[in-house]
Amino acid sequence: MSTTEPPHPDRSHASEPGRPARADARRNREKLLTAARAVFAAADDTVALEAIAREAGVGIGTLYRHFATREALVEAVYAAELDDVAASAHTLLSELPPPAALRAWMDRYAAFVATKRGIIGTLRAGWAAGTIATPATRERLTAAIATILTAGAQAGSLRPDVEPDDVTTMLLGIFLATAAGGGTDRTGRMLDLLVDALRPLTERADPS
């Protein structure tokens, strides 16, 4: 009888079977977040989690493996949205002149506000109970606005005398005023007016 031991598996590939699973898990998590952001923006936080799983093309068990509770999903959606809005200021400035970047950023902020409306009940309850972290939302949004205003002031295309937090306040007022009605067209017109007011007088007088 041979005493030769069976060959050992190649340990250099021992973790390989797990890699596709981890990649699949990451993809499923991203699909769930994307679906949740769309569903919450279109509806509200009373939407069934099964609907989000269907939108993502996964089973409800997959959703619960990534997000054990509705609060966990809502917190992840809110954090992802806030990260995107904050980061988009730099991205837009790399692609557009400051006034156009500011206007495009406002649209992105409006989308964030729409998603937040869909989850505000869960957020408030979680914040009050301490089960959902309280992010520095206003500070991060105001910092994004400041980035664009600074670039515009340096280029001479936006006023240098504007406080970024004042712009945040005006944006919140616009979104609050148009939340009950008027639709995206009215919101867009008001955002256009705000950006125009932030241009230097010479820029407003000369459309070129």
Give pLDDT, residue 59.
95
What average pLDDT does the segment 12-31 reach? 68
Q: Which two tokens stand for residue 119?
A: 């989850």
pLDDT (tens digit per residue) in 89-126: 999 999 999 999 999 999 999 999 988 888 999 999 99
Read off φ and ψ for residue 206, nearest 5 degrees.
Answer: -115, 95
Instruction: Indicate the DSSP class of residue 9.
Output: P
The answer on pLDDT for 15 being more than 50 is: no
Domain extent listing, the chain: 15-68, 70-208
Output the CATH code of domain 15-68. Answer: 1.10.10
- The CA-CA-CA angle for residues 127, 87, 57, to 5°, reads 70
The answer on pLDDT for 3 being more than 60 is: no
d(CA 195, CA 158): 9
pLDDT (tens digit per residue) in 153-207: 999 999 999 999 999 999 999 999 888 766 678 899 999 999 999 999 876 545 4
pLDDT (tens digit per residue) in 52-89: 999 999 999 999 999 999 999 999 999 999 999 999 99
Q: Which two tokens stand for residue 158?
A: 């936006």
Pick the CATH number of 70-208 from 3.30.2130.10, 3.90.550.10, 1.10.357.10, 2.40.30.10: 1.10.357.10
Q: Which two tokens stand for residue 106?
A: 């406002």
Give pLDDT, residue 20.
55
- The owner of tokens 């505000």 is 120
